[in-house]
Amino acid sequence: MNMRSTRSTVTFSNPFTLPGYPGDLPAGDYEVLVEEELLQGLSFEAYRRTATYLTVRGRGGHAGRTELRAISDSDLKEALSRDRAATEKNNHGEAAPSPQEDLK
């Protein structure tokens, strides 16, 4: 069985939560590891995702430790979507209204 791993980075602008894990995670950059296996018997090369992990660095008494947290692709997308919505809400709430032009 042929496997491949892909790493990417996602950025959270706000603290966030993940289903199945207690507590909030801080805003920042997180590495995502995706593992896939080669599908056999096809006339073209195709892979199937077998696992997705989010790399979480320890805090406080766990500083210096790194944990790979299993996460579904849909949970990751949902967390990123909530983060974008919170950032947009914060940006719109902090923006000063622009002065109206004098139309005379």
* Ordered mean pLDDT values, 10 residues apiece, the chain (104 residues): 92 93 91 95 92 85 81 94 89 56 48
pLDDT at 104: 47
Sorted by sequence, the CB contacts under 8 Å of residue 32 that are 6+ apart come out as 7, 8, 9, 10, 52, 53, 54, 55, 76
Q: H-helix or E-strand containing 53?
A: strand 47-57
Torsion of CA 60, 76, 11, 26, to 10 degrees: -20
| Domain ranges within the chain, ordered by starting residue | 3-77
Helices (H), the chain: 73-94
- What pTM did the predictor assign? 0.75
Q: In 3D, which of 8, 9, 10, 15 has the Cα closest to residue 87?
A: 15
